[in-house]
Amino acid sequence: MKAAVIYTKGEMPKYAEFAEPIVQNDNEVLISVKAVAITNLDKGKASGKHYSSENENQNGFVVGSDAIGFLEDGTRVYARGITGTMAEKAVVEKNRMVPLPDGISNATAAAMPNAVAGSAMALRFRAGIKPGETVLINGATGFTGQMAIQIAKHYGAKKIIVTGRNQKTLENLLELGADEIISLKKDDESIISQLKEIHQNTPIDIVLDYLWGHSAELILSVLKGNGNFTNKTRYVSIGSMSGDIIQLSAQILRSVDLQLSGSGLGSWTKEEVKLLFLEILPEMFLLAAQNKLKVNIDEVSLVDIEKMWDVEVSDGKRLVVIV
């Protein structure tokens, strides 16, 4: 079969012939793959830099961790891969499959799950979002951040504040449901001043952070209390595009009702992952099929994988490989 294969971590995937995977047990099934999204998770695992990266395989490995495809009986599904999914065939887990509704394209469905997991899981299980709350999304101009805005609004957020560096994309986020934008190109004093004014008028209940780094330090400094009663803020780290390490003053932790947690592979419980496949993904696929979720994508053919792997996609779009 044809596949996107990495022979040495850190190199581009090659369009190559690769052995077709074989089903090993009753919990596995073979699918004919039609579409696979290129995500930061897959890039991190391919480079060996993500904490869930596999050990080196001298025979190479197929990239991709999930896919849209067809079962032997013709059922169209989203599924998590046991083998690499950016190939004509992939072995997937039976208990991590979601049948797709009519009205959603293969490419749109392929683009969504990683972003849904990277936002809905944090909102529901780490932040416990309630209708009427104020949500700050740090780093909202990327694909997952754009999905997070729409999902937070769907879950009942009353006000959504977003940060980012691309001014044009930031302004476009107002059309997706954001209420206020903060440019991270401003100087620290201006960012802090704007955040403080927002927090005083509508206390921030939830922070979804896709950046970490210096912007996280600024946000946390704004949350610092002065000895009076404070609003509880649930701060969830989801990504670290701006740096993996921050300085955090102990005074911040002592002076404010702050819940600091992370959301990602390894932090979710088995029950939470089960609900992702049974409830969250089916609901989000249906919303997209009904045109109630905007999904920004660009499509590329599997044969062009090597030259498209590291392409910078504009305006927070997700690149989807069509097989």
Q: For the segment 241-250, what is each residue's pLDDT rounded down to a tens digit?
A: 999 999 999 9
Per 3-state DSSP, the chain is made up of helix, strand and coil in percentages (nearest 5) of 35, 25, 40
Q: What is the pLDDT of residues 263-306, one digit of tens each?
A: 998 999 999 999 999 999 999 999 999 999 999 999 999 999 99
- CATH class of the domain whose range is 2-114+270-322: alpha beta
Residue 56 pLDDT = 56
How far apart are alpha carbons 65 and 246 in whole angstroms?
Answer: 30
Structure tokens at 287: 């919303």
pLDDT of residue 52 exceeding 70: no
What's the mean per-residue pLDDT of the chain?
94
pLDDT of residue 55 exceeding 80: no
Query: Which DSSP letter does residue 87 get?
Result: B
Residues written for the chain: 323
Domain 119-262 bears CATH identifier 1.20.190.20: no
The segment(s) of the chain belonging to CATH 3.90.180.10 are 2-114+270-322
Residue 239 · residue 209 · CB < 8 Å: yes
Mean pLDDT of 163-177: 95
Mean pLDDT of 133-153: 97
Residue 42 pLDDT = 83
**Dihedral angle of Cα 238, 241, 244, 250, to the nearest 10 degrees:** -60
pLDDT of residue 180 exceeding 80: yes
The segment(s) of the chain belonging to CATH 3.40.50.720 are 119-262
How far apart are alpha carbons 295 and 112 in whole angstroms?
Answer: 8
Residue 266 pLDDT = 93
Mean pLDDT of 207-215: 98
The strands making up 61-62's β-sheet, listed across from edge to edge, are: 14-17, 2-6, 61-62
* Amino acid residing at 236: V
Residue 46 pLDDT = 81
Residue 219 · residue 136 · CB < 8 Å: yes
pLDDT of residue 58 exceeding 80: no
pLDDT of residue 51 exceeding 60: no
Residue 3 · residue 62 · CB < 8 Å: yes
Residue 15 pLDDT = 96
pLDDT of residue 129 exceeding 90: yes
Residue 54 pLDDT = 57
* Amino acid residing at 292: K
Residue 66 · residue 79 · CB < 8 Å: yes
In Å, how far are 92, 146, 267 from 263, measured between CA atoms? 23, 17, 6
Mean pLDDT of 165-190: 96
Q: What is the pLDDT of residues 216-265, one digit of tens each?
A: 999 999 999 999 999 999 999 999 999 999 999 999 999 999 999 999 98
- Residue 132, Cβ neighbours under 10 Å: how many? 10
* Amino acid residing at 217: E
In Å, how far are 61, 73, 271 from 210, measured between CA atoms? 28, 39, 24
Beta strands in the chain (DSSP E): 2-6, 14-17, 28-38, 61-62, 66-70, 76-81, 89-99, 134-138, 159-164, 180-183, 206-209, 233-237, 258-262, 297-301, 318-322
